[in-house]
Structures are given as C-alpha cells and as structure tokens.
Chains A and B, each alone.
Chain A
Amino acid sequence: MIHVPNVNHKYASESASPQFLVSGILYRPLLEVIKAACQSSKSEAYHWVPFKLIHQTPSAHLRAYTDIYNSEAMLEEDAKIRAKGRHPDDNPDTEIAILAMLFWSDSTHLTNFGTASVWLIYLYFGNLLKYACGRPNAHAAHHLAYIPSVSIDPDLYAHWQDCLPLPSSPTLSKTFTKRLIKLQQCPNFCVSSRSNLCKRYGV
C-alpha cells in the first residue's frame, strides 16, 4: 500500500491520503538470508578475520588490496566491533566476526530470447573471494526481493489525475526513517550508480 499525497491538499495523517495498492511483492527477511548463508557449508570459504596482504619485493613491502576482507575499511570495522567488548551472554572463546554485505539492485534479463526481465535486490558477501562471487555455479548471490512492476489502470486515470501534483522529492515514510535512524551510522555505506561509482577500498 503506497500513499499518494497531493501537495495542495492537507491530510489529517499519512494514512488519510489516497492509497495505491501494489501486489506480488516477493521477499525474504534479510536476517533469515544471512542465517541460512552462514549456516550452510558454503560459509567454510568465508574469510571471517580481516588481514593485511603484503607483496614482498627485494626492495620493498607493498600493501596489496584484493578483496573486502583485506581492505582498510574492513580492518577498521573489525577493530570497532572488537573495541565494543564481548556480549555478556557469550562464552570467552566465542569468535567475533563481521559479515560484509554488498547489496545490488537492477533490472536483469532472464533469457537470451524475448524481453522477460525481473527487477530484484540481491546480496553478495564481501567475506567471500571476489572470483568465487563471479562464478555462477558458486551460488554466491542471495536473492532478497523481486520488485513487481507498477502500472496504472487506464480506467482509474481520472482518479489519479486528482492526486497531482505530487511531492517533488520522494517522501520518507515514518517507519522507513525510524529504521534508518536505528541502524547505526556506517562510514562504509557508499551508494554507487552507473554514473557515479564510489567504493571505499583500502586507503
């Protein structure tokens, strides 16, 4: 259910504005996907402890960056988590580890023929070697959600015409904002797009 507020109209609350129903959303709760991935035997290949990779030449020691788990960003995050101290319920020998999540979302073609496509959100883990992530038979991508396409019923054009103009910038729903605030600020959170690719690797 999406609320469509007209900017020239005052509503008692967000729920009082016109509603547009979208059906057919398929998703998996993020936490369940993470649990399943960690518990599976495939997680044996994950690097849980970040490290520095050094290339030794006769004259110098060069720092090499190949994956998330040997990046400076991962080492910093790992140090922060360790500095927070042990959870009171944990045994002294319980390992502490970071799971690096790499989210992607785009429209993907499903076949080599026709125009069948799906718009999805999927997840890779930075703890896995990047070459493994790139192998289709490694099953390294975890599908999180399939986003249905949105279309307006032609019979209802007149009805929705009354809702224009819409807010110029997208509104953030209360629930969404609350969730975002709850997530502690993560300095490694970078948004990349086709035109502006920014990834924080190493220094």
Chain B
Amino acid sequence: MPELLRFLKIELMQKIWCLMLDDAFVDAYRHGMLITCGDGVKRRIFPQIFTYAADYPKK
C-alpha cells in the first residue's frame, strides 16, 4: 500500500515538527530569550530559521 505509506510518512514528519516547535519555542522565537552564553555574557537571543533542507519523505 504505497499510497498509505506515503501519506503516513508525510503526516509523521508534521507530527514530529509539531512536537519540536512547541509553545515554549514559539514564545522564544517571537520575544527572544535570555541566556548566559558560554563566554559568560548574558544575551537576549532570537532564534531565526534560515534554511530547511530536507529529502522529501515519499518512499
């Protein structure tokens, strides 16, 4: 059933991104977050997505 498998893989990828892009991340993405970095300097860091390169999950 390649059709079902393909569907499941695409949906699974979305579900996993849903788990990772949680509300805490979305909040940090919009407002930044205070982190004391490895060099001892406290910074408000804004994570930004620059690229997303992926093999399309079809097989």
Task: Give the secondary structure class of A's interface.
Answer: mixed
Q: Which residues of B contact A101 (CB under 8 A)?
A: 47-50
How many chain-A residues does the 8 Å CB contact rule pick out? 82
Mark contacts of A10-52 with chain B using CB atoms, 8 A cut-off: 1 yes-contact digit, 0 otherwise: 0000000000101001011111001100111111101010000
A-B pairs under 8 A by CB, number: 209
Mark contacts of B8-41 with chain A using CB atoms, 8 A cut-off: 1 yes-contact digit, 0 otherwise: 1111111111111110111011111111111101
Does A75 touch B at the CB level, under 8 Å?
no
Residue contact B8 to A39, C-beta cutoff 8 Å? no
How many chain-B residues does the 8 Å CB contact rule pick out? 52
Residue contact B54 to A104, C-beta cutoff 8 Å? yes
What are 18 sample pairs from A and B whose C-beta atoms fall under 8 A apart?
Answer: A22-B12, A27-B20, A29-B22, A30-B47, A38-B45, A43-B39, A101-B50, A103-B52, A105-B55, A106-B54, A147-B57, A152-B4, A170-B11, A176-B15, A184-B29, A186-B49, A188-B50, A193-B54
Interface, chain B (partner A; CB < 8 A): 1, 3-5, 7-22, 24-26, 28-39, 41-57
Interface, chain A (partner B; CB < 8 A): 2-4, 20, 22, 25, 27-31, 34-35, 38-44, 46, 48, 68, 73-74, 77, 81, 87, 89-90, 94-107, 119, 121, 126, 144-145, 147-148, 150-152, 157, 160-161, 163-167, 170-173, 175-176, 179, 182-184, 186, 188-194, 197, 199
Can you name 11 extra interface pairs (CB under 8 A) apart from A44-B37, A151-B5? A2-B12, A29-B19, A29-B25, A38-B43, A43-B39, A100-B48, A103-B54, A152-B4, A170-B7, A189-B50, A190-B50
